[in-house]
Amino acid sequence: MKLIFAIVQNDDSKRLIREMIKHHISVTRISSTGGFLHGGNSTLMIGVEKDKLQETLDIIREQSSVRKEYMVIPTTLPGYVDSSPTPVQVTLGGATVFVVDVAEHYRF
């Protein structure tokens, strides 16, 4: 058995979870925050048998879209004369995935 931790943006999580359920793959969602932009993320815990691992990874890849957006990041550097916010293009979305071997698991 494998345990997958998939960290995705909140915008992608609902669509991804629906697709997992459609393929009879159990998933647990945990709200999380992190990264450069401190945006809302979801950490998905997905337990699958080894033979469903590739199918699950394919679904994550398909449903976690990468997109470019403009974010306004304030420039508050010491000694910086122009303190007006500057729009910066950033890449959002995608998924960070960890796959871990599970020695034992129980359902009670």
| pLDDT above 60: residue 36 | no
pLDDT band (50, 70, 90) for residue 75? low
Domain hosting residue 44, numbered range: 2-101
Strands (E), the chain: 2-9, 28-34, 39-48, 66-73, 86-93, 95-101
Which tokens is 28 given? 């647990």
Number of folded domains that form the chain? 1
The model's pTM is: 0.74
pLDDT band (50, 70, 90) for residue 50? very high
pLDDT at 12: 86
Whole-angstrom Cα distance, residue 16 to residue 9? 10
The answer to whether position 108 is within a domain reads: no
CATH number of the domain bearing residue 6: 3.30.70.120
Paired residues of 69 in beta bridges: 90
The answer to whether position 43 is within a domain reads: yes
Mean pLDDT, range 49-68, rounded to an integer: 90
**How do 39-48 and 28-34 pair as beta strands?**
antiparallel
Mean pLDDT, range 43-66, rounded to an integer: 93
